[in-house]
Amino acid sequence: MTSTTTGIFDITGKRALVTGASRGIGRAIAIALAEAGAHVVAAARTEKALKETAALAADAPGQIDILATDLRTPESAEAAIHCAAETLGGLDILVNNAADDHDSSIEETDLKVYQRVMDLNLQSCWVMTKAASPYLKDGGGKVINIASVLGLVGMLDDSVYIAAKHGLIGLTKAVALEWARAGVQVNAIAPGFVDTAMIGNLKENEALQAYVKKKTPMGRAAQPEEYAGPTVFLASSASDFMTGQVLVVDGGYSTQ
């Protein structure tokens, strides 16, 4: 075990795949892991945006390679794991971050919307975690699922996203138990409101700003970069005795 405080957060040489890395939390996480020394494959649909993510980490001790792919089908999700492992020479860290949302009541949500949100938010995570098994168990590894505070509580008019995120937390706990003796830690991070495109244009929407301020005890939305530290912690040896847990980073939202 590394004895220094700085050393336990060092992930130099670790091999990581981060999904949804073209913007928002995923971009911040991919950059943070590279800055902590990891070799990262950043995956998302938009190649141009992925190149921007990689450019932002150009001076990092680690590096970012990109993988343009749509993870909604089981075939593409599984292929992404094997492609990343081939690029990296293995896989130590899997960050399931890619997500989609659709705000509407259950009556107004059709099955196509349900399937689209579930395919990305839950199915892809299950498929990728399963496909990553032989790589992660080769010496121990880390799975970090980016869930949501809405995987712990409810909210009006968001039933599919909430169901998917509750499912992702359940998946986290189940696989953590299955892999505990294999030396693989499986944990989740549950963000609250984050200033990303998923919640809308926060800077120009005063009503949305007021809503977030009212609902969040800390009085603001998080910035994507505020999830860098929690992710590096879960990716590093600092969290080696932590598995099946949900690290809630929501500005106090879930305490109410």
Kindly list the catalytic residues: 161
140: left (phi over 0), alpha (psi -120 to 50) or beta: left
What CA–CA distance (Å, rounded) separates 135 from 47? 26
β pairing state of 93-96 and 185-191: unpaired
Q: For residues 125 and 239, what is the distance between their CA atoms, to the nearest angstrom?
A: 21
3-class DSSP assignment, residue 84: helix
Q: How many CB atoms lie within 10 A of CB 5?
A: 8
State the amino acid at position 86 in one-letter form: E
Task: Tell me the two tokens of residue 35.
Answer: 């800055």
Token code pair at residue 109: 């949500």
Torsion sign over Cα 6, 10, 12, 18? negative
Cα 5 to the chain's mean position, in Å? 25
Q: For 21-30, give one letter per residue: b (16+ CB within 10 A) or e.
A: bbbbbbbbbb
Identify the sign of the CA torsion 189, 192, 197, 198: positive
